[in-house]
Amino acid sequence: MKQPKISIVIPIYNVEKYLEECLTSITKQTLKEIEIIAVDDGSTDSSGKILDSFAAKDKRIKAIHQKNTGYSAAVNLGIEKASGEYVGIVESDDLIDKAMYEKLFDAARTSDADIAKCMFYKFNPLSKKAPLLVYKNPGGVDLELAPSTFSPEEWPAIIAFHASIWSAIYKKDLIKHNPIPDTPGASYQDLPFMMGVMTKAKKIAVVKKPLYYWRNEPGQVHSTSANGEKALLMARNTLLSLDILKKSGKFGQLKDGFFAQAYWTNIAFFSRIQPKYRQQYFILLKKIFADVNLDELDGYRYLRPEDKFAIKQILTKKNWRALFTAYSLGRAKRLISRA
């Protein structure tokens, strides 16, 4: 086969419940010139057998089996093996629209973009009220509002939107020089990876349609379900992302979007972490937002008034309870406004 247009990397670990549905959605893509690099990261359930069954029927699938080394190592191995012009990543418990990669590739090729990104659904088939919702950013940052092509400096809201590294394709040369940081446990490695590629991308194209189905079911195990000490890794990866942004030389241009992303992501973890870890998390948040000038905070475009109030508590108070109170007040305000 000629060089694939897209290499699709799938990290797999104990997802027998979802894997067949995921692989089916990928093998049925309307874009046929793809290679599928599936890395079974030491699964102890039937995931490996399911993968081998698909690989036996579809020669585009390269099945790799290895000892458990963690999410980032599995993804990075897949990227290392990729030969496509562009590379995409699919989580093994998610689904994709049959035309996703054709639409992303056309958008990327038309504009010679380093990254092409699409909107996505938040998908919970167990919900009777809302099994399928188009993802909406907490602060109203919406990909529908983005230019068709742009650099991060031209539309810094992209940094605030959502890491969602799986709703995009990346030029191979860009992604191969920006591996996902190897941090153990459920730690939201998406954020430092996203910061690395976004600060190096010269042009980003957007497909303004939801083409990816991000599964969110009760009891599902993924990074956003981390609790206890593992949840603290979110804050530490945010600090790593901040360091990447500063080293890129684009901190002044992109800090507005970064601190919005940092707040929305971390407050979700902080709000559900066990009380005994909250002070540790609070101290890490102080480090994350240490570069925010209180006199300039009101000018941050992507933060809501209640977000800015909470960040002020982080910077001026010594105890985590001030932030928890601020978060609770903001949440109550939003619930009242929707009533």
Q: Dig out the tokens for 26 from the structure.
A: 């990928």
The lowest-confidence range among 75-79, 127-131, 243-247, 277-281 is 127-131
The answer on pLDDT for 183 being more than 90 is: no
pLDDT in tens, 3-28: 999 999 999 999 999 999 999 999 99
What pLDDT is recorded for position 178? 86
For 87, half-sphere exposure in the C-beta direction (CA atoms, 13 angstrom radius) is 25
- Most confident of the ranges 176-180, 182-186, 324-328: 176-180
The answer on pLDDT for 48 being more than 60 is: yes
What pLDDT is recorded for position 338? 46
Q: Give the residue range(s) of CATH 3.90.550.10 domains in the chain.
A: 6-225
What pLDDT is recorded for position 227? 61
pLDDT in tens, 270-296: 988 899 999 999 999 999 999 999 999
Give the pLDDT band of residue 61 (cuts 50, 70, 90). very high
What pLDDT is recorded for position 339? 40
How high does pLDDT run on average in the chain?
A: 91
Is the pLDDT higher at 330 or at 112? 112
- How far apart are alpha carbons 280 and 288 in whole angstroms? 13
pLDDT in tens, 133-163: 999 999 999 999 999 999 999 999 999 999 9
Q: What's the CATH fold of domain 6-225?
A: Spore Coat Polysaccharide Biosynthesis Protein SpsA; Chain A (3.90.550)
What pLDDT is recorded for position 184? 58
Is the pLDDT higher at 292 or at 327? 292
Report the pLDDT averaged over residues 102-109. Answer: 98
Give the pLDDT band of residue 181 (cuts 50, 70, 90). confident
Give the pLDDT band of residue 335 (cuts 50, 70, 90). very low
The answer on pLDDT for 224 being more than 70 is: no
What pLDDT is recorded for position 244? 96
Give the pLDDT band of residue 336 (cuts 50, 70, 90). very low
pTM of the shown model = 0.92
| Burial group, residue 64, by CB count within 10 angstroms (0-12, 13-18, 19+) | middle
Give the pLDDT band of residue 331 (cuts 50, 70, 90). low
What pLDDT is recorded for position 279? 95
The answer on pLDDT for 32 being more than 70 is: yes
Report the pLDDT averaged over residues 72-95. Answer: 96
What pLDDT is recorded for position 334? 59
